[in-house]
Amino acid sequence: MWCFSAIWLLPLMVVQAQDVDHLLSDVLFCQPQAPRFGLLKMFHDDQMFTYNFSDHSAIPQKGEFEKWAGQSFPNPTNISYELELCQAFLEVLTEVLENITPEAKADTQVTVLTAHPVTVGSPNTLICFVGNMYPPVLTITWYKNDQEVTEGITYSGYSAVPDPHSQTFSRNYQTFSYLNFTPHSDDTYTCIAHGGGQNATSTVRYWVADSTVPSDLLENVLCGLGIGLGVLFLIVGIVFFYLASR
């Protein structure tokens, strides 16, 4: 399966004192599978905005980017033209490379972790990170104890990853999926990342809740144990004092 990507690289500024180039760039991709196309605005390896083709608006990746949303994609006409050009190139490439299978990249990387330290019974968020992905075609499915979970799930969308050796973007995408959950002892959560294409593979990662005693219960147990030991030592002391006085 082939994915054609058109990339614009727009240097934003140069900090002369530190001799560092800051790279602001637009990444446009189009492909046969869903999502059929997408446009991202990147600052180095951080995604700032996603372009909404339906109403020509910018969707900020973080709340602090909202104030720049109106300036991020100022010319919808040019975007429409470049998208048509991308799709035309894709049709040509599809015909030329119809019988050629692209060389596979390294295995897709999948990692599952929690957003906050785990306390049994306290709400938390599971994060499924999928990296080293190409093309940006992926289905992420969550399971709890072998039962599919369909609620409390959000997605970050696809982000292009810069090439660390040059001011360009490598053929590499990443994405995040978030699952709101409340951990309980011995619960098992599974993140399945299923890539697209004829030679699609599924990568599975598990997260199992520790049988950790809740912190408030642990405090109560330790407090009760301390009081019990104190009373016991008091009784033993009284007995020894009584025996010694005889």
- Return the domain boundaries, the chain: 4-96, 109-208, 220-246
pLDDT tens profile 40-89: 888 777 788 888 888 888 888 888 888 888 888 888 888 888 888 887 87
DSSP codes, 12-56: EEEETTTTEEEEEEEEEEE-SSSS-EEEEEEETTEEEEEEETTTT
- The answer on pLDDT for 148 being more than 90 is yes
Q: Which CATH superfamily includes the segment(s) 109-208? A: Immunoglobulins (2.60.40.10)
pTM: 0.54
18, amino acid identity = Q
Average pLDDT over residues 108-121: 87
CA distance 10 to 82: 16
CB count within 10 Å of CB 84 equals 11
Average pLDDT over residues 164-186: 77
DSSP codes, 99-159: T-PPPP-SPPEEEEEESS---TTS-EEEEEEEEEESSS-EEEEEEETTEEE-SSEEE---E
169 forms bridges with which residues in the sheet? 162
Percent of the chain beyond pLDDT 70? Answer: 66
Pair of tokens at residue 9 = 């690289």
Most trustworthy range by pLDDT among 112-121, 153-162, 226-235: 112-121
Residues 6+ apart with CB under 8 A from 152: 179, 180, 181
Q: Please tell us whether the domain made up of 4-96 is placed in CATH 3.10.320.10.
A: yes
pLDDT tens profile 89-99: 777 777 766 66
pLDDT, position 201: 66
- The answer on pLDDT for 3 being more than 50 is no
Residues 6+ apart with CB under 8 A from 125: 114, 115, 116, 178, 179, 180, 181
CA distance 233 to 239: 10
pLDDT tens profile 215-224: 555 566 667 6
What is the overall mean pLDDT for the chain?
A: 75
